[in-house]
Chains A and B, each alone.
Chain A
């Protein structure tokens, strides 16, 4: 009797609350600041040779990431890791692949100062922005300042990034009971749970809330050195450990993995099931999973339509 009650309770808990939560439609951000941040995000003035903007590597109109294996920044220098998406970044528990930034502001500071990316610094950025009559006017309007400090520039960009969420994906609407999944999609979600993808890819961002090693069961080795978690912790056991990436809009963010080794979802699923689940997955299951993953593509952020 007692056992059955416990079982029923567990059943209810498991079904009542899916481990994935939908992106809210209403999010808090300061629209004026965000629009000013949008201008900055789109503006190549923030790179030394005025060639690279944030948008160059984070195409917010399509997945928020870079379709290139590695991004090209200042003087066509190559980046050292695949560009992660900026969409829904506010829901990641830390930023960058190895989580070296605690928040968006720390993150934004990174590429601007990176010689291979924007190749700027605090002083040069302040100079650039303060020389612009347009920005002077805008900052005066939004922040009420005459001199624009670096901190405010970051704040504006972060505010824009906060607005970059993609709600109303089919799956979110399903979670909210507004839509129904197709058979394939449903099957894909079931596999996603049964095979254990969900143990890491859960939460609002379907990932982005824990670190995990690439290759738990079968070692994942590459000949190239990537900045992994051990760069932050200096712990050898953190080799090949990365932040679990979000699966939202995954359809749009190929190539996959930090090393861009998977060019499409099928090969990405294949690699993950082999290395991190220790299973060999059938093509049929892969197709179902792909269908499920495709249901995670949300609407474009509203801020992109705002002027």
Chain B
């Protein structure tokens, strides 16, 4: 279960147990209150009994006493009993035994009150009689005169009554000996004696109940016993209750404590998980924004930033592409390539960031983007120049490997920024003029781009399906009317069987890694064809650039080496271009080529970059005269003269000539008439899938 869910459950449990604790507190409080109330009530009742006992004791000693107190005490006793009876705790069924005892106590109380009534009634008479008798004896002149003996007896009787009262013992009273007797005829004596006897008779009659009731009140055993029982039973039951409450409290506390601890633990865990989640989120956010390898902003961030008007008001984009970076990966491996990319990133950062306010992005594998805001074209151009210069001059050293780089930089501030900059970059590659280019609207060939993309895909598939094939156009010896050579021309067979000429795909292939593959296929397939047609020579086209590309030349020589001992005769047709910086490389190439028995042909001579200076430096075997001259030798004297001059020149240099674009019999015949050796063109044959077995032709 999820921590948050668990946490929620435990918080609920915590709340419930808190409520339970609060509830318990109130239950416990009420319980204690009830217990206290009962104990107070029973103690008050007991005290009321004791108060009354004290008052009764006082009353029996003192002669004159204010009995209001007793009436008040009685009332209080009744009130206290009622309070006890109404004690809340007695409503509880577990206290039914106590309740029964309390009800029984009512009987005791009523009895006690009754006894008090009786006591008060008898006590008044007894007190008054004893007082009267002592006063009577004090005034006993009449009796004394009559009989000393009787007076003495009267005194003894009174003493006995006093003793009996003081000691609360009837032993002092004699049943027969409490009356005075006389046979006196004196009325006063008679009255004296009869009054005396009236009181002693009263006392004799009332002493037993008086002593009994006094004892009953003072001892009040039944009541005290009952109170004792009530207290005992009550404490037994309440102790049981208290114990139960204690246990409940302990359990509740433990529960409360446990859920409290659990909540804290879960909270901590929850927090930790939350933090983890947050960290993940941050790193995810980071990877969304930053390129993992170079720690520059990534393409996604670039796209977001470009759209963000608050970030860039008027952005200018500079994109930098590393030339032939793919070869670095191929040659040194991806690890080195990655380290190099990091180094380059650092290099750019150091160069740009220090001096200019800008954001740097890694837009693609070897493509970096730098966005400036509100910058003039001159300034960004200068920055670009500085950057390009410093990179070209810099030697990156990675694992002791020295790497020098060339870069192209495109600059653009026209939306869409990246697409337009890319177009400008392409323009650089196409034109080969400068390494830095500022985008302008004329380069806007977006549609072309899309088509190119399609073509790249087509080439890729064609390579995979082995649909890159050489077509062979015969080169005819005009003098012998025999085919001697074939020029291998690259063709792309679509999967529907349509054949694409090179201008439809080769230029695009040159810009991709596929060009190398296509060249290789062409050379190898041509060699294989040459092996099966030993009667002919075969030539393959290569550009000056290709020759400068060590990879391509290595590949060529590897193949030549491989098929060295076959009877294949392979020549190279060299396409001129203005970039012939390194004449030595070309020289070496030609020399090496010659060691394999291969000839070198100069293609398209007489147009474009044709330069006679080559011939002084390079050991060229055959010159191919450009079609633009050949086509018009019949109609244009000038062209005819040019052709003758080239032929003369070639002959002088010990070179043969091939006339291209021979499209009619007239041209062929004219060429033959001036003694030209080789010709090529649609008049003889279009390029063929396979060379012809029969070398003979008719002109």
Interface residues of A (CB under 8 A from B): 13-14, 17-21, 91, 93, 193-196, 198-200, 202-205, 209-213, 216-218, 233, 241, 276-280
B129 interface residue per 8 A CB criterion: yes
Contact, CB under 8 Å: A210 / B120 = yes
- In the assembled complex, how far is the CB of residue A102 from the closest CB belonging to chain B, in whole angstroms? 8
Residues on A with beta carbons closer than 8 Å to the beta carbon of B131 = 194, 196
The residues of B with any CB-CB pair to A shorter than 8 Å are: 62-68, 70-72, 74-75, 114, 117, 120-121, 123-125, 127-129, 131-132, 135, 191, 195, 198-199, 202
B-side contacts of A20, CB under 8 Å: 66
Contact of A211 among B65, B120, B132, B195 (CB under 8 A): B120
Q: Find out whether the CB atom of A21 lies under 8 angstroms from the CB atom of B68.
A: yes
CB pair A278 B129 closer than 8 Å: yes
Q: Which of A193, A202, A280 contacts B195 (CB 8 A)?
A: A280
Q: Are B62 and A13 in contact (CB under 8 A)?
A: yes
Contact A93 B75 (CB under 8 A): yes
B residues near A195, Cβ cutoff 8 Å: 128, 132
A20 to B64, CA, bound (A): 9
26 contacts across the A-B interface (CB closer than 8 A):
A14-B64, A19-B67, A91-B68, A93-B71, A195-B128, A196-B124, A196-B128, A198-B64, A199-B64, A199-B124, A199-B128, A200-B67, A202-B64, A202-B66, A202-B67, A204-B66, A210-B117, A212-B124, A216-B202, A217-B199, A276-B125, A278-B199, A278-B202, A279-B132, A280-B191, A280-B195
Query: Are the CB atoms of B198 and A19 closer together than 8 Å?
Result: no
Whether B68 and A204, one on each chain, are in contact in the complex, defined by CB atoms closer than 8 angstroms, is yes
Q: Which residue of B lies closest to A200 (CB)?
A: B124
Q: Which residue of A lies closest to B67 (CB)?
A: A209
A209 touches which one: B71, B129, B199, B202 (CB < 8 A)?
Answer: B71
**Contact: B64 with A193, CB < 8 Å?**
yes
Neighbouring A residues of B199 by C-beta, 8 Å: 217, 278
Nearest B residue to A218 by beta-carbon distance? B198
Chain B residues with CB under 8 A of A233: 114
B66 and A203 contacting across the interface, CB-CB below 8 Å: yes
Q: Which residue of A193, A204, A211, A276 contacts B117 across the interface (Cβ within 8 Å)? A: A211
Measured in the bound complex, the distance between the Cα atoms of B68 and A209 in whole Å is 6
Q: Is the CB of A203 within 8 A of B68?
A: yes
Which residues of the other chain, B, contact A196 by a CB distance below 8 angstroms?
Answer: 124, 127-128, 131-132
Within 8 Å by CB of A199, from B68, B114, B127, B135, lies B127
Q: Across the two chains, which residue of chain A brings its CB closest to B198? A: A278
Interface residue SS majority, chain B: helix
| B212, chain A: closest CB distance, angstroms | 14
Contacts of B65 in A (CB 8 A): 19, 202
When A199-B128, A278-B195 are in contact, do A210 and B71 touch as well, CB less than 8 Å? yes
**Extra A-B contacts (19), CB below 8 Å, given A93-B74, A196-B127, A196-B128:** A14-B63, A91-B68, A93-B68, A93-B72, A93-B75, A198-B64, A199-B63, A199-B123, A200-B67, A200-B124, A202-B68, A210-B71, A210-B117, A212-B120, A216-B121, A218-B198, A278-B132, A278-B199, A279-B195
Complex CA distance for A216 and B198, rounded to whole angstroms: 11
Q: What separation, in Å, do the CA atoms of A164 and B114 have in the docked complex?
A: 31
Q: Are B202 and A21 within 8 A (Cβ)?
A: no
B68 touches A277 (CB 8 A): no
Q: How far is the CA of A13 from the CA of B66 in the complex (A)?
A: 12
On whether the beta carbons of A277 and B121 are closer than 8 Å, the reply is: no
How many Å lie between the Cα of A174 and that of B124 in the bound state?
Answer: 26
CA distance A233 to B118 in the complex (A): 12
Output the nearest chain B residue to A238 by Cβ-Cβ distance: B117
Q: B66 contacts A14, CB within 8 Å? A: no
- Contact between chains at B198 and A217 (CB < 8 Å): yes
- CB proximity of A204 to chain B, nearest CB, Å: 6
CB–CB A203/B67 < 8 A: yes
Closest 9 CB pairs between A and B?
A196-B128, A93-B71, A203-B68, A199-B124, A209-B71, A19-B64, A216-B125, A19-B66, A209-B67
Find chain B residues with CB under 8 A from A194 CB.
Answer: 131, 135
The answer for the CA separation of A13 and B191 in the assembled complex, in Å, is 36
Contact assessment for B128 and A14 in the assembled complex, using a CB-CB cutoff below 8 Å: no
Are A217 and B71 in contact, CB atoms less than 8 angstroms apart? no
**CA A205 – CA B68 in complex, angstroms?**
9
> Measured between C-beta atoms, what is the minimum distance from A243 to chain B in Å?
10
Contact status B121-A213, CB under 8 Å: yes
A68 to B199, CA, bound (A): 36
CB distance from B83 to the nearest CB of A (A): 16
Whether B120 pairs with A217 at a CB distance below 8 angstroms is no
Chain B residue with Cβ nearest A198: B64
Shortest distance between the CB of A101 and any CB in chain B (Å): 13
A217 contacts B202, C-beta separation under 8 Å: yes
Separation of A43 and B71 alpha carbons in the complex (Å)? 33
Would A277 and B64 be within 8 Å (CB), given that A93-B75, A199-B124, A217-B125 are in contact?
no
Residues of A with C-beta under 8 A to B132: 195-196, 277-279
Residues of A within 8 A of B191 (CB): 280
A235 to B427, CA, bound (A): 138
Residues in A whose Cβ lies below 8 Å from that of B120? 210-212
A277 with B71: in contact, given A203-B66, A212-B121, A217-B202 (CB under 8 Å)?
no
List of B residues within 8 angstroms of A276 by Cβ:
125
Q: Which residues does chain B contribute within 8 Å of A218, judged by CB atoms?
A: 198
**B67, B129, B198: most-surrounded residue (chain A CB, <10 A):** B67
A210 to B74, CA, bound (A): 11
Docked Cα-Cα span, A233 to B195, in Å, equals: 33
In the complex, chain B residues whose CB is within 8 Å of the CB of A93? 68, 71-72, 74-75
What's the minimum C-beta distance from B438 to chain A, rounded to whole angstroms?
A: 102
How near does chain B come to A237, taking the closest CB pair, in angstroms? 8
A20's closest neighbor in chain B, by CB? B66
**For B68, what are the chain A residues with a Cβ–Cβ distance below 8 Å?**
21, 91, 93, 202-205, 209
When distances are taken between beta carbons in the complex, the residues of chain A under 8 Å from B70 are 209-210
Q: Roughly how many angstroms separate A186 CA and B114 CA in the complex, as a whole number?
A: 36
Least CB distance from A14 to B in Å reads: 6
- Chain A residues lying within 8 Å of B64, measured Cβ to Cβ, are 14, 18-19, 193, 198-199, 202
Measured CB to CB, the closest approach of chain A to B139, in angstroms, equals 11
**What separation, in Å, do the CA atoms of A21 and B128 have in the docked complex?**
21
Collect the chain A residues with CB atoms within 8 Å of residue B127's CB: 196, 199
A192 → chain B closest CB, angstroms: 10
Cα–Cα, bound, A13→B120 (Å): 21
Q: Which of A205, A217, A280 has the most CB of B within 10 A?
A: A217
Which residues does chain A contribute within 8 Å of B123, judged by CB atoms? 199
Which A residues are CB-close (under 8 A) to B117? 210-211
Q: Which residues of A contact B195 (CB under 8 A)?
A: 278-280
Q: What chain B residues lie within 8 Å of A193 (beta carbons)?
A: 64
Chain A, Cβ-Cβ closest to B65: A19
Bound-complex Cα distance A100 to B63 (A): 29
State in angstroms the CA–CA spacing of A77 and B117 once bound together. Answer: 34
Instruction: Enumerate chain A residues within 8 angstroms of B74, measured Cβ to Cβ.
Output: 93
User: Separation in Å of the A199 CB from the closest CB of chain B?
Assistant: 4
Return chain B residues, CB-CB under 8 Å to A277: 128, 132
Nearest residue, chain A, Cβ from B120? A210
For the complex, what is the distance from the CA of A76 to the CA of B561, rounded to whole Å?
164
Residues of B contacting A209 with CB < 8 Å?
A: 67-68, 70-71
Contacts of B135 in A (CB 8 A): 194
Rounded to whole Å, the gap between the CB of B570 and the closest CB of chain A is 132
CB distance from B224 to the nearest CB of A (A): 24
Instruction: Give the distance in Å from the alpha carbon of A246 to the alpha carbon of B123 in the complex.
Output: 19
- CB of B363, distance to nearest CB on chain A (Å): 92
The residues of B that contact A210 with a CB separation of less than 8 Å are 67, 70-71, 117, 120-121, 124
Among B70, B75, B124, B131, the one with the most A-chain Cβ atoms within 10 Å of its Cβ is B124
In the assembled complex, the CB of B11 is this many whole angstroms from the nearest CB of chain A, namely: 51
CB of B384 to closest CB in A, whole Å = 101
A211 pairs with B124, CB closer than 8 A: no
Residue of A nearest to B58 (CB): A13
